Amino acid sequence: MSSLEEVAEEIRLCRLCPLWRSRTNTVPGEGRRDAEVMVVGEGPGEEEDAQGRPFVGRSGRLLTEALEKAGLRREEVFITNVVKCRPPDNREPLPEERETCVSTYLYRQMAAVKPRMVILLGSVAVQTLLGKPSVSSVRGKAFEKDDVVYFCTYHPAAALYNPANKTTFFKDIEKAKQLLESLKAFKKQKTLDDA
Ligand code: URA
């Protein structure tokens, strides 16, 4: 199995899809190598492309605020995206770009971090990881797949442009944190029962 650093190094050199041509920096992701929670957005925007770090622009500030309000410090989660290079003009990543990037990198990052929960932000993440048509049908819900719990909510960009979405987004992140605590309590109880 590859380490997070090995995957990040491969991403830095990646030319598997055309997005490498227009990027300034790749954005592999950042956070704790053994994070309980992984957060997956869509793809880097302008700020992220300039800095090589995920969610450092306006959406990122809102995400950080929502996480911290829910009792999750940004440094203790692992934050990344479906695609690791900025799509030109902030267009959505194309299906083949998503598939290539997720199968080559994101799944290996998940295997290295082994999060209890993956929070999916917005439709691109929900479509790519769960095959659901859009976030609206699943927001606020959790799904278990291949031993990982996926929690779905809005992309923070949607929350920035609509105050109602912002309230919902903050509540969802709190709900995700509560679900995480229940999963941990359940696991602890099961360990005690099995002992
Ligand atoms: N939007 C995303 O989906 N990801 C980022 O890293 C920044 C903005």
DSSP state of 13: T
CB atoms < 10 A from the CB of 190, how many? 10
- Residue from 11, 30, 59, 82 to probe ligand 1 pocket by mutation (most atoms less than 8 Å from CB): 59
Confidence band, pLDDT 50/70/90 cuts, at residue 190 = confident
Under CATH, what is the fold of the domain 4-194? Answer: Uracil-DNA Glycosylase, subunit E (3.40.470)
- Residue from 129, 155, 161, 169 to probe ligand 1 pocket by mutation (most atoms less than 8 Å from CB): 155
Tens digit of each residue's pLDDT (9 = 90 or more) over 12-57: 999 999 999 999 999 999 999 999 999 999 999 999 999 999 999 9
Residue with the two structure tokens 């300034």: 24
- Whole-model pTM above 0.85? yes
Atom 7 of ligand 1, nearest CA residue: 55
Q: Find the 137 Cα to ligand 1 centroid distance in Å.
A: 21
pLDDT of 191: 85
Closest-lying ligand 1 atom to the alpha carbon of residue 156: 1
Q: Find the 39 Cα to ligand 1 centroid distance in Å.
A: 10
- 27 touches 52 (CB < 8 A): yes
- 146 touches 107 (CB < 8 A): no
Q: Find the 47 Cα to ligand 1 centroid distance in Å.
A: 9
Mean of per-residue pLDDT scores for the chain: 96
Q: What is the 3-state secondary structure (H, E, C) of 56-120?
A: CCHHHHHHHHHHHHCCCCHHHCEEEECCCCCCHHHCCCCHHHHHHHHHHHHHHHHHHHCCCEEEE
Domain boundaries, the chain: 4-194
